[in-house]
Amino acid sequence: MKTTLFQNLPRIIKTLVGLLFLLHGSATFAQKLVVELYEKQDFIAYRNTSIDSTLMRPDYLSEIDRSKTKYVFDLTEKTSAFYREDEFTSILPIAFEKISDNLLQVQILQEGLHYGLLINLDP
């Protein structure tokens, strides 16, 4: 017995709705890491070097900044939103690498600048 498109339409619609539900449901699980700082200090190197080397031998060390700062790292979208005193400042692309079980290196990719953070993941 032959079936027509109209006879199969309810099954096709159910399949499409189910697929859309699955796709929408999987999009809601994003990995976000929120880092709030109440005290920070910039370690700056004017040469091409690693983060570790910059921490050990900075060319410039800023004063301690006590303004409330927040980074929201979206590891799924690979972006970083930056807030100062709860005001949105910018959003930039990031690259990240898990260096060890408890250490994450995040590089903020801004043209002309090379900077990032080392984040201890221990609770």
Q: What is the DSSP string of 47-116?
A: SS--HHHHHHS-SEEPPPB-S-EEEEEETTTTEEEEEETTEEEEEEEEEEEEEETTEEEEEEEETTEEEE
The tokens for 2 are 């032959």
Specify which residues 118 forms β-bridges with. 105
Q: Is residue 80 included in any domain, yes or no?
A: yes
- Full residue range of the structural domain in which residue 114 is found: 30-120
- Residue 11 resides in a domain: no
- Written as one letter, the residue type at 75 is L
The answer as to whether 53 is a domain residue is yes
17 has a pLDDT exceeding 50:
yes
Rounded distance, CA 100 to CA 103, Å?
A: 5
As a whole number, mean pLDDT of residues 86-106 equals 90
Q: Quote the pLDDT of residue 74.
A: 92
Q: What pLDDT score does 63 carry?
A: 93
% residues pLDDT > 90 (the chain): 27
**What is the phi/psi pair of residue 121, to 5°?**
-90, 0
Look at residue 116 in the predicted model and tell me its pLDDT.
78
Q: For position 110, what pLDDT does the model report?
A: 83
Indicate whether 108 pLDDT > 90.
Answer: no
- Whether 15 is covered by a domain: the verdict is no
* Domain contains 101: yes
Q: Which two tokens stand for residue 37?
A: 């700082």
Tell me how many domains the chain contains. 1
Report if residue 113 sits inside a domain: yes
Residue 12 counted as domain residue: no
- Judge whether residue 10 has pLDDT over 70: no
Phi, psi of 112 (to 5 degrees): 90, -15
In a domain, 2, yes or no: no
pLDDT by residue (tens digit) across 48-91? 888 778 888 999 999 999 999 998 999 899 999 999 999 999 99
Beta bridge partners of 80: 73, 92
Q: What are the residues facing 97 on neighbouring strands? A: 105
- pLDDT given at position 30: 64
Mean pLDDT rounded to a whole number for the chain = 79
- What's the rounded Cα separation, in Å, for the pair 93 and 84? 18
